[in-house]
Structure 1
Amino acid sequence: MPMDHAELTTEQVLKRDIPWETYMTTKLITGTCLQLLRRYDNKSGSYRAALLDDDGPAYVQVFINILRDIFKEETVEYVLALVDEMLTANPRRARLFHDQSLANEDPYEPFLRLLWKDNWFIQEKSCKVLSLVVSSFNFRLKIKFWFNNSARPNPAKCVIANGGATSNGEASHSKNKITTIDDVLKGLVEWLCMQLKKPSHPSRGVQTAISCLATLLREPLVRSSFVKADGVKLLVPFISPASTQQSIQLLYETCLCVWLLSYYEPAMEYLATSRSLPRLVEVVKGSTKEKVVRMIILTLRNLVSKGTFGAHMVDLGLLQIVQSLKAQAWSDEDLLEALNQLEVSLKDNIKKLSSFDKYKQEILLGQLDWSPMHKDPTFWRENISNFEENDFQILRVLITVVETSVDARALAVACHDLSQFIQCHSAGRIIVSDLKAKEKVMKLMNHENAEVTKNALLCVQRLFLGSKYASFIQA
């Protein structure tokens, strides 16, 4: 789109002189509308505020009707700038769009349609206005109002409702069905997701979308629409270390969105199957911005007790990160409390994870990784006799892994666990030797992966020398 539209500011647009009298002469607006505009246009902020305090819904109706029925781009930009200025000065004025006197109006349709206009200024302002209007919507009471209230006819239209379209296409006077809040949510979320995928503006598209989502996702109905639109995975790439002030703000608002989604059960699956958790842990490990750290820790505290999140956090080494963060000087009491709670939860998860059943499941499923129990002395001391079950089934599986696996990490873990068994079981060296493991492990001593070589060497040392001497050599 042309850069003159993309880089317009509200201040520049509000300096325009709009020919309202011409619109009335051509019967595009009424005399009542013209009077209201003359009182409001080019006046000081305090004077406009007084007018809105006295007759806010009437002015909202003026703006809605002009945006609905007049298509001239300069005029649309101007009215959007007026609405933006009105809401920026006092966001609570968004409630005016839900006033009962506008029950026969459609306050959403113009903004929803303008979201898709090939003009960034119009798109951005429409998104901002819609986001504030939707976030001020009392869903429970409004739905009750829809069912219990018979809408009153509106006394004075500011735009001629039955006129014909002008030859230059400036006006359109057909009124479609009233746009429901469901229509608004669907259209707005679709546009926001589009900005995350393919932004209309190279530097402001993503920032605008995430800022609006940070406001909108406070509402459960918006969370539902966003999850159904597969929006969660679009947020994840923006959870990344920040360097500039602008990128720090983007990161903060992205984390705020994830935090809001962490309260919504249907979003759990999307958060679990994306790379959101590793990214959150990576960012919090290196961030020094308190508001970013706070948002991530609050999110992790919400997630730690859900599904497999706790186990995954332990695997990612989050406990050590939390303990390191606790040692730093934070001023936010909520952050300090969340860090303490998260630490307790992670320690509880480690206790649960350090069970033989969990270990056995990992081995039998072939999912060998450096989960906490492998290097936990207490686990080996308390569970060593369990390895005798089913004719040393677990040992046999580990030896099969050593012999057949091509995964370096699995090989390293298997060698490590065999050496742990040799060290902790009173007859470990004899049992592992009888199972013909020695030759298979020895073949890995020249493996290209250093981690495999190290653990294979330790295992062989313990097989040949016994746990006492192997411990001495390792040291």
Structure 2
Amino acid sequence: MSLDLPTYLASLQGNIRQRPIPWDGAVRAGTLTEEQLDRIRAVDKVKKDVRKQTVEADLDGYSVLFVGGSGKKSVLELAAKRQDVVQYILVLLNDLLSTSPALSKALLKNGDPYRHFLPLLAHSATLDDPIPLLTSTVLVSLMAGSRDETPATVDKALPLIYSYLSSLTKNSDAGLQDIGVQEYSSLLYGHAPRQQFWNQRSETVAPLIDILKAAAGVGNAEAAASLWSGATNPSRSGFEGSLGGGVGLQLLYHVLLVMWQLSFEGANVGAELDDEYDIILLYTQLLRLSPKEKTTRLLLATLYNLLTTNQNTLLPIAVLARLPSLLQNLQSRQYNDPDLREDLDRLSELLEEYTKTKTTFDEYVAEVNSGHLRWSPPHRNAVFWAENARKILDYENGALIRKLAEIMKKPWENDKAVLAIACNDLGSLVREVPERRGSLEKFGLKTRVMELMSDTDENVRWESLRALGGWLQYSFDTK
């Protein structure tokens, strides 16, 4: 997928191309050989079609020039101490790879094509040194041009490149972030690089999620609480002019593009993507705020990929996030993009079919399994508890009770309502099925309720007192 070259990178490469290199003096100093210089001059500062013909007529020679072979050192080996020459060669090689994809495959025929490039990624830790950035661009062009998925690329080179690009996406400079994100996008051309991208998700995916959270207007600390609040009270209609958190539209689009590419591995990564990053909630909120058709299309396409491959686990979350009602609202809008309209229709049909067969009990199960409680209708509904308390206790051999215990163990400093709701639910269970108090106590729930009576939040204290009151009432009644 071709994207516009980031301004900073284009400017850097342009400046290096214009620098005069004293090539003849470099040959006399042993920085490169006459043969190497002849090949460089044959493709330097010539028209693209001439460059392409020259390279493809001598693929073996240009392969030896850049990666060595047949007992000959590469130009990067010989010029290692001349930073100006190394920079120039890296820019020239990237130009050649862009002009002639055949060169990528020729370079990869070498036994170890990456040995001269990978060390350059760690050439310097300072951003003023352009060599690591130029090297990453060459490596991305090499891999994307060949679409290589051999162990030399996927197991050896990719992890190092992903780590370097991660340092760009974590940078506060939006220009460097965009370079890192666009180079990610070029690399996600197949299953193997996408899987490796996911394997390194603490480096690769997490910073992108941070960018998306900033765009959605939520910080990391209160992300889940803010997202659930947005799902329950979707009052914001969108951004005007710029996105939340200072995220520019171009950067947002490129991040969404990378996540869409990753979503083609939905069957393998979808459930964990939601467990670790609340992706369905986050994308629902971003969809609600999306300022342009091109971002809306990527959001819908990604959601469709994830939901179709994880229907049992993620469709319930989508319903809790109020995605069906949001899609219904979007259906009333006029969109010019036919692919967007198709994705919107397919996603709406998927969720409509799912909701037709689901009961209030199913919704409650989905909410508990999501790991985040909110004041949805069942919690305060006496009829719901009368009809379903025993089913909740028996569900999958106590799975819901174990999940409630897991939820209650957390402090929920940024969303105390979760603890208040959990206490409310425990009190309802005790009142409806008092003879099962012992099974609840085995999970430490009575002890946790007693601890919460001294919580800093007034609502948590009140709900924990009500729950404990029911516990004590039935304890006395049975004596």
**TM-score clears 0.5:** yes
CA spacing shift, 1:181–1:19, aligned 2, 3 Å: farther
2:223 is the alignment partner of 1:220: no
2:156 is the alignment partner of 1:183: yes
Question: Structure 2: how far apart are the matches of 1:361 and 1:46?
Answer: 59
Of 72, 90, 105, 1:80 maps to 90
Deviation of 1:236 after TM superposition, in Å, equals 0.6
| Alignment match, 1:294 | 297
Deviation of 1:51 after TM superposition, in Å, equals 2.2
Deviation of 1:25 after TM superposition, in Å, equals 2.4
Retained in 2: the 8 A contact 1:287–1:293? yes
Retained in 1: the 8 A contact 2:143–2:187? yes
Amino acid at match of 2:162: V
Deviation of 1:366 after TM superposition, in Å, equals 10
CA spacing shift, 1:362–1:259, aligned 2, 3 Å: closer
Question: Structure 2: how far apart are the matches of 1:408 and 1:385?
Answer: 23
Question: Structure 2: how far apart are the matches of 1:368 and 1:37?
Answer: 64
| Alignment match, 2:109 | 103
Q: TM-score, normalised by structure 2?
A: 0.64
* Equivalent residues in 2 for 1:150-161, closer than 5 Å: none
Retained in 1: the 8 A contact 2:101–2:145? yes
| Alignment match, 1:58 | 61
* Equivalent residues in 2 for 1:157-306, closer than 5 Å: 181-197=154-170, 199=171, 202-229=173-200, 230=202, 231-239=204-212, 240-241=214-215, 243=242, 247-264=248-265, 265-268=267-270, 269-305=272-308, 306=310
* Equivalent residues in 2 for 1:362-377, closer than 5 Å: 369-371=374-376
Of 337, 348, 352, 1:332 maps to 337
Question: Structure 1: how far apart are the matches of 2:10 and 2:346?
Answer: 46
Deviation of 1:111 after TM superposition, in Å, equals 2.6
Question: Structure 2: how far apart are the matches of 1:99 and 1:364?
Answer: 51
Unaligned stretches of 5+ in structure 2?
A: 1-7, 68-73, 216-238, 396-400, 402-414, 429-456, 467-479
* Equivalent residues in 2 for 1:15-34, closer than 5 Å: 15-34=18-37
Deviation of 1:106 after TM superposition, in Å, equals 3.8
CA spacing shift, 1:53–1:372, aligned 2, 3 Å: farther
Unaligned stretches of 5+ in structure 1?
A: 144-178, 398-405, 420-446, 457-475
CA spacing shift, 1:361–1:414, aligned 2, 3 Å: farther
Amino acid at match of 1:319: P
Of 145, 149, 158, 1:136 maps to 145
1:234 partner SS: helix
Deviation of 1:237 after TM superposition, in Å, equals 0.7
Question: Structure 1: how far apart are the matches of 2:359 and 2:323?
Answer: 16
Bigger mean CA offset, 308-317 vs 30-39: 30-39
Retained in 2: the 8 A contact 1:370–1:413? no
Q: How many residue pairs were aligned?
A: 367
Amino acid at match of 1:267: V
Q: Greater CA radius of gyration, 1 or 2? A: 1
Q: In the TM superposition, what whole-angstrom CA distance separates every residue of 1:192-241 from its partner, at most 9, and x where no partner exists?
A: 223333x3x83433211111111212322212222222332232111143
Amino acid at match of 2:285: E
CA RMSD of aligned residues (A): 4.4
Retained in 2: the 8 A contact 1:60–1:96? yes
Question: Structure 1: how far apart are the matches of 2:153 and 2:262?
Answer: 24
CA spacing shift, 1:94–1:106, aligned 2, 3 Å: farther
Question: Structure 2: how far apart are the matches of 1:366 and 1:122?
Answer: 46
Retained in 2: the 8 A contact 1:353–1:373? no
* Equivalent residues in 2 for 1:305-454, closer than 5 Å: 305=308, 306=310, 307-356=312-361, 359=364, 369-371=374-376, 386=387, 408=417
Amino acid at match of 2:120: L
